């Protein structure tokens, strides 16, 4: 029986690997000039000009409670489109695309209690690696207009 | 039959017709004898009936059918357009709107039959002095008096003149039969014109139709109740006609009367020509006004030649034009090295054309506020009845245009504000008279353009707002301490009215008073990027001022540096730019101000507002950009000026839309983003 396989874009913050639903990824860009926007939460770094469109960008490190680091050649901005809202996420590097079946993804309810937990929808196991699956909707939930 | 694909068209067109019906009914109320308006209303009701019939909405069709009957009775002056009748017609309009809304939400017309309204309509018809059942007798009586046709008048329905008489006599001479055939259609018959056409066709087969009442054109346009009369000349006899016509569906009754010389005896020359002329005159008068109505109708139609366009397509068009302008700006920068004359001229031409293109596309999305304003007269009329107050609404500036998206949203807040004026602002007629004001309360609704904004004002000459009462309520409700409340200015006190759950009304009415309204209004308007202010004078009245930006524009802006960041300030908000010395800045009540030619202007340091890390510490001179918001001036302190530039306003997107000081972003020639300062929210 064919199990449901979903594809995920896998990226890194420090040594941890994270994954996001590939269907929601528009494009992955190299780091570019970000214009600061006042009166925004600290994890919102500002906006970028992506071929004529203004797209807000957030630092995933800050959002998940990690400290910020300087960007380097590997730093990337992953542009997501969730519920017709386009936004970018700064990550340390992007590694590959992996496929996971539903059964490989476990819920995290009882493992750790951390406020970063909100943004995690599960953990996937593959070849001795643990990939934390990010819940994109929760990532922008507090910014969405009521 | 799948009607779903036509639902959209049906809804769009019905809405238009209902709107026109609304306006016409209001006019009719003011001038009950206006034939043009009556005809217009009839025409619209008729069109709606046809549309409903095509879509299979039987309840709606029935209602419009009965409306038509009443309207026809009005047209032929059988009943008068008094208050009761107009009220019923308004109720019909509401019922029809109900049907359309039902269609919008469920795709069907629902089960509502509005039996009470239909009953009221039929009551009107029955009460009228010349109802269908009595028509025969009355018409006949008229003929006795006017036409001096003698006893057989009950049978003779047609007004015969001298010409007819000759034709009849000639026919009789040639041993042809002349019949007067009266056909009554079923009451439930929906497509009367089609039915009548069938009958005419049948008659044509066996006879020559000489005359018909009402005229053939009227029958084709369905301008008749349920029956009509024709006079025919034929070789066949009456029984054939009776048989043929009775076999046509939806024919209730056929009456064939033989016309003989006897009937023509009393047609005398002169008197009847007069009668003929008399008959013609009201007809021509009617047809004149009809022609005029048609002319105005066609004139109206000419100026309203429209095409329905999907809003999404317009958006795409707007985006493309915006991109074009951005690229044009880049061209400006690119050619800095070798600018030959040709290059400059070409660039200027390009600039001119892109500006025109932009204006044209902008206009496409702009809609006159009239669309929103035109439902208010009816609303005010209904409210004034409900509250038993005399209220008149004055509107001006309806041609002022706003972006389509804004128009959709501004309706509700305006309704609320007008309701407030009517309910809380304006006093009852007795109170007004006691105060020495005119018994009729007035509400003014104005729209005009002011710089880069559109301003909508709602003003009333009611009792205004009692600032002290509000102050007391603030203390009562615990919003502020007594001392703090005592120190608040009148404007600050009034500002509290916009807080959620704040109301000074002692009793809650159906319309307002619950304290939920004004804050919703304020939120909505601010979501549109606008501002709302309330001015009042206790005893004299209040004025609500709403300012809305002309969004999605390409505007002229001044680029400035604040710290190391570039910002854009819309040129239309800028009054002047000054260089000032740090010493010129004084402190008044904790607010930095400056003296500018006898005016005291508050100073706002953009570094602080925007949270920009300050770059240069002590500067000899400061650049102060004096901006205006309505009549209020403020001075923005910036680090340096870059220059004036045409920029495209780009939205920050849903996530960042709520940010207060920033009205949007723009992409500069070098590809970087500069934020646009929202002057109204900072000043």
How far away is chain A from the Cα of B60, in angstroms, using its nearest Cα? 39
- Indicate yes or no: CB of B661 within 8 angstroms of CB of A140: no
Task: Just give the CATH number of B132-268.
Answer: 3.30.70.1110
Tell me the pLDDT band of B266, cut-offs 50, 70 and 90: low
Report the b/e string of B454-478 with b at 16+ CB within 10 A: bbbbbbbbbbbbebeebbebbeeee
**Which of B14-23, B106-115, B132-141 has the weakest average pLDDT?**
B132-141
**Which of A62-66, A90-94, B239-243, B280-284 has the weakest average pLDDT?**
B280-284
Greater pLDDT, B185 or B517: B185
How far away is chain A from the Cα of B507, in angstroms, using its nearest Cα? 31
Tell me the pLDDT band of B543, cut-offs 50, 70 and 90: very high
Q: Which of B667, B673, B682 is most worth mutating to test chain A (most A CB atoms within 10 A of its CB)?
A: B673
User: How many residue contacts between A and B have a Cβ separation below 8 Å?
Assistant: 73
| Residue B39 is among the residues annotated as catalytic for this protein | no
pTM for the model stands at 0.49
Cβ-nearest to A52 among B653, B667, B672: B667
Q: What is the mean pLDDT of residues B649-678?
A: 82
Q: What is the DSSP string of B490-528?
A: HHHHHHGGGSTT----SS--SSS-SS-HHHHHHHHHHHT
**From the candidates B17, B22, B40, B46, which is the catalytic residue?**
B46
Q: What is the mean pLDDT of residues B559-565?
A: 90
User: pLDDT of B335-382, one tens digit each?
Assistant: 666 667 888 888 888 888 888 888 788 778 778 888 888 888 888 888
- Indicate yes or no: CB of A38 within 8 angstroms of CB of B612: yes
Predicted-complex ipTM score: 0.84
User: Do residues A23 and A8 make contact, with C-beta atoms less than 8 angstroms apart?
Assistant: no
**Could you confirm whether domain B370-549 is CATH 3.30.565.10?**
yes
- Indicate yes or no: CB of A39 within 8 angstroms of CB of B659: yes
How far away is chain B from the Cα of A96, in angstroms, using its nearest Cα? 28
Share of chain B above pLDDT 90, in %: 7
- Indicate yes or no: CB of A55 within 8 angstroms of CB of B612: no
| Residue B4 is among the residues annotated as catalytic for this protein | no
Query: Which fold does the domain A5-143 belong to in CATH?
Result: OB fold (Dihydrolipoamide Acetyltransferase, E2P) (2.40.50)
**Which of B166-175, B269-278, B592-601 has the weakest average pLDDT?**
B269-278
Tokens of B548: 């809305």
Q: What is the mean pLDDT of residues B417-439?
A: 85
Tell me the pLDDT band of B296, cut-offs 50, 70 and 90: very low
Cβ-nearest to B655 among A33, A39, A87: A87
Provide the pLDDT for residue B674. 93
- Indicate yes or no: CB of B673 within 8 angstroms of CB of A39: no
User: Do residues B140 and B153 make contact, with C-beta atoms less than 8 angstroms apart?
Assistant: yes
Q: Does residue B141 have a pLDDT over 60?
A: no
Q: Does residue B558 have a pLDDT over 80?
A: yes
Tell me the pLDDT band of A58, cut-offs 50, 70 and 90: very high
Cβ-nearest to A145 among B609, B654, B671: B654
Set of chain B residues whose Cβ sits within 8 Å of the Cβ of A35: 565, 665, 672-675
Set of chain A residues whose Cβ sits within 8 Å of the Cβ of B672: 33, 35, 49
**From the candidates B147, B161, B226, B420, which is the catalytic residue?**
B420
Q: What is the mean pLDDT of residues A84-105?
A: 88
Provide the pLDDT for residue B299. 39
Greater pLDDT, B73 or A44: A44
Provide the pLDDT for residue A76. 94
- Indicate yes or no: CB of B651 within 8 angstroms of CB of A53: no
Provide the pLDDT for residue A26. 93
- Indicate yes or no: CB of A47 within 8 angstroms of CB of B656: yes
Domains of chain A by residue range:
5-143
Tell me the pLDDT band of B136, cut-offs 50, 70 and 90: very low
Provide the pLDDT for residue A94. 94
| Residue B263 is among the residues annotated as catalytic for this protein | no
User: pLDDT of B202-223, one tens digit each?
Assistant: 888 888 888 888 877 778 777 7
Greater pLDDT, B531 or A145: B531
- Indicate yes or no: CB of A85 within 8 angstroms of CB of B659: no
Average pLDDT, chain B: 78
Provide the pLDDT for residue B421. 85
Q: What is the mean pLDDT of residues A43-53?
A: 88
Looking at domain B554-682, which of 2.40.50.100, 2.40.50.180, 3.40.50.720, 3.90.1300.10 is its CATH number? 2.40.50.180
Cβ-nearest to B656 among A40, A48, A53: A40
Is residue B181 helix, strand or coil?
A: strand
- Indicate yes or no: CB of A145 within 8 angstroms of CB of B565: no
- Indicate yes or no: CB of B665 within 8 angstroms of CB of A48: no
**Could you confirm whether domain B311-368 is CATH 1.10.287?**
yes
Element (H, E) at B594: strand B591-596
**How far is C-alpha A57 from the chain's CA centre?**
11
Domains of chain B by residue range:
4-127, 132-268, 311-368, 370-549, 554-682
Tell me the pLDDT band of A35, cut-offs 50, 70 and 90: very high
Q: Does residue B492 have a pLDDT over 50?
A: yes
Cβ-nearest to A49 among B322, B609, B667: B667
B interface toward A at CB cutoff 8 Å? 322-323, 326, 565, 609-612, 650-662, 665, 667, 671-675
Q: Classify residue B374 by its DSSP letter.
A: T
Neighbours of A127 (CB within 10 A): 5
Per DSSP, helices labelled H in B309-403 are: 311-334, 341-365, 370-373, 376-387
Q: Does residue B59 have a pLDDT over 80?
A: yes
User: Do residues B463 and B553 make contact, with C-beta atoms less than 8 angstroms apart?
Assistant: no
Q: What is the mean pLDDT of residues B179-197?
A: 81
CATH architecture of B4-127: Up-down Bundle (1.20)
Q: What is the DSSP string of A72-118?
A: -TT-EEEEEEETTEEEEEEESEEEEEEEEEGGGEE--TTT---GGGG
Greater pLDDT, B631 or B95: B95
Q: Which of B649, B655, B682 is most worth mutating to test chain A (most A CB atoms within 10 A of its CB)?
A: B655
A interface toward B at CB cutoff 8 Å? 33, 35-40, 44, 46-49, 52-56, 85-87, 140, 143-145
Tell me the pLDDT band of B301, cut-offs 50, 70 and 90: very low
Cβ-nearest to A49 among B654, B661, B673: B673
Among B316-320, B595-599, B612-616, B638-642, the range of highest mean pLDDT:
B638-642
| Cis before B214? omega within 30 | yes
Q: Does residue B501 have a pLDDT over 90?
A: no
Q: Which of A54, A63, A136 is most worth mutating to test chain B (most B CB atoms within 10 A of its CB)?
A: A54
């Amino acid at each position: 029986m064919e199990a449901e396989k979903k594809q995920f874009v896998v990226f890194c913050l420090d040594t941890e690997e994270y994954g996001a639903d590939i269907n929601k990824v528009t494009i992955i860009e190299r780091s570019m000039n970000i214009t600061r926007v006042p009166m925004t939460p600290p994890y919102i770094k500002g906006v970028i000009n992506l071929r004529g469109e203004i797209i807000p960008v957030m630092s995933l490190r800050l959002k998940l409670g990690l400290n910020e680091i300087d960007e380097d050649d590997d730093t990337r901005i992953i542009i997501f489109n969730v519920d017709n809202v386009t936004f970018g996420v700064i990550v340390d590097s992007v590694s590959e695309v992996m496929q996971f079946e539903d059964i490989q993804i476990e819920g995290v309810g009882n493992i750790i209690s951390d406020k970063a937990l909100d943004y995690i929808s599960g953990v996937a196991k593959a070849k001795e690696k643990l990939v934390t699956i990010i819940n994109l909707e929760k990532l922008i939930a507090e910014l969405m207009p009521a | 039959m799948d009607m779903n694909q036509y639902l959209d068209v049906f809804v769009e067109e019905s809405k238009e017709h209902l709107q026109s019906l609304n306006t016409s009914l209001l006019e009719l109320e003011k001038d009950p004898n206006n034939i043009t308006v009556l005809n217009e209303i009839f025409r619209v009701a008729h069109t709606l009936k046809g549309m409903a019939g095509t879509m299979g909405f039987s309840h709606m069709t029935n209602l419009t059918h009965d409306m038509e009957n009443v309207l026809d009775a009005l047209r032929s002056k059988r009943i008068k357009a008094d208050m009761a009748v107009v009220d019923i017609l308004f109720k019909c309009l509401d019922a029809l709107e109900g049907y359309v809304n039902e269609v919008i939400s469920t795709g069907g017309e629902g089960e509502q039959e509005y039996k009470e309204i239909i009953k009221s309509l039929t009551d009107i018809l029955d009460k009228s002095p010349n109802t269908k059942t009595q028509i025969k007798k009355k018409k006949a009586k008229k003929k006795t008096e006017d036409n001096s046709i003698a006893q057989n008048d009950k049978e003779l329905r047609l007004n015969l003149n001298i010409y007819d008489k000759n034709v009849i006599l000639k026919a009789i001479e040639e041993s042809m039969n002349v019949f007067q055939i009266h056909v009554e259609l079923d009451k439930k018959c929906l497509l009367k014109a089609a039915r009548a056409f069938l009958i005419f066709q049948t008659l044509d087969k066996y006879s020559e139709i000489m005359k018909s009442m009402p005229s053939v054109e009227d029958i084709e346009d369905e301008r008749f109740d349920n029956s009509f009369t024709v006079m025919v000349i034929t070789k066949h006899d009456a029984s054939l006609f009776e048989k043929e016509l009775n076999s046509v569906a939806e024919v209730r009754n056929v009456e064939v009367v033989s016309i003989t010389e006897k009937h023509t005896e009393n047609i005398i020359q002169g008197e009847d020509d007069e009668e003929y002329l008399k008959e013609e005159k009201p007809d021509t008068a009617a047809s004149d006004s009809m022609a005029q109505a048609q002319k105005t109708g066609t004139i109206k139609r000419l100026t309203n030649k429209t095409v329905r366009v999907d809003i999404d397509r317009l958006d795409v068009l707007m985006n493309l034009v915006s991109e074009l302008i951005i690229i044009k700006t880049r061209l400006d920068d690119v050619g800095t090295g070798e600018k030959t004359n040709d290059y400059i001229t070409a660039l200027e031409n390009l600039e001119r054309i892109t500006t025109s293109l932009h204006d044209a596309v902008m206009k496409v999305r702009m809609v006159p506020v009239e669309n929103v304003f035109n439902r208010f007269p009816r609303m005010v009329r209904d409210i004034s009845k409900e509250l038993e107050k005399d209220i008149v609404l004055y509107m001006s500036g309806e041609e002022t245009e706003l972006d389509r998206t804004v128009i959709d949203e501004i309706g509700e807040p305006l309704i609320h504000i007008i309701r407030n004026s009517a309910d809380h602002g304006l006093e009852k007629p007795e109170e007004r008279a006691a105060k020495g004001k005119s018994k009729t309360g007035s509400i003014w609704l104005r729209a005009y353009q002011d710089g880069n904004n559109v301003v909508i004002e709602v003003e009333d000459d009611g009792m205004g707002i009692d600032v002290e009462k509000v102050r007391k309520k603030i203390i009562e409700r615990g919003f502020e301490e007594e001392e703090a409340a005592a120190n608040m200015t009148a404007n600050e006190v009034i500002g509290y009215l916009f807080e959620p759950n704040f109301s000074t009304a002692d009793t809650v009415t159906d319309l307002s008073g619950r304290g939920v309204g004004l804050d919703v209004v304020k939120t909505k308007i601010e979501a549109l990027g606008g501002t709302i202010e309330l001015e009042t004078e206790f005893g004299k009245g209040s004025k609500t001022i709403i300012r809305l930006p002309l969004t999605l524009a390409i505007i002229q802006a001044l680029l400035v540096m604040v710290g190391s960041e570039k910002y854009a300030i819309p040129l239309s908000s800028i009054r002047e730019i000054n260089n000032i010395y740090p010493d010129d800045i004084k402190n008044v009540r904790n607010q930095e101000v400056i003296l500018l030619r006898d005016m005291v202007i508050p100073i706002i340091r953009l570094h602080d507002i925007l949270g920009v890390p300050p770059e240069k510490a002590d500067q000899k001179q400061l650049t102060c950009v004096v901006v205006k918001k309505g009549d209020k001036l403020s001075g923005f302190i910036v680090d340096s000026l870059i220059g004036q530039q045409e920029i495209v306003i780009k939205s920050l997107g849903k996530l960042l839309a709520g940010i207060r000081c920033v009205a949007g972003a723009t992409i500069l020639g070098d590809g970087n983003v500069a934020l646009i300062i929202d002057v109204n929210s900072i000043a």
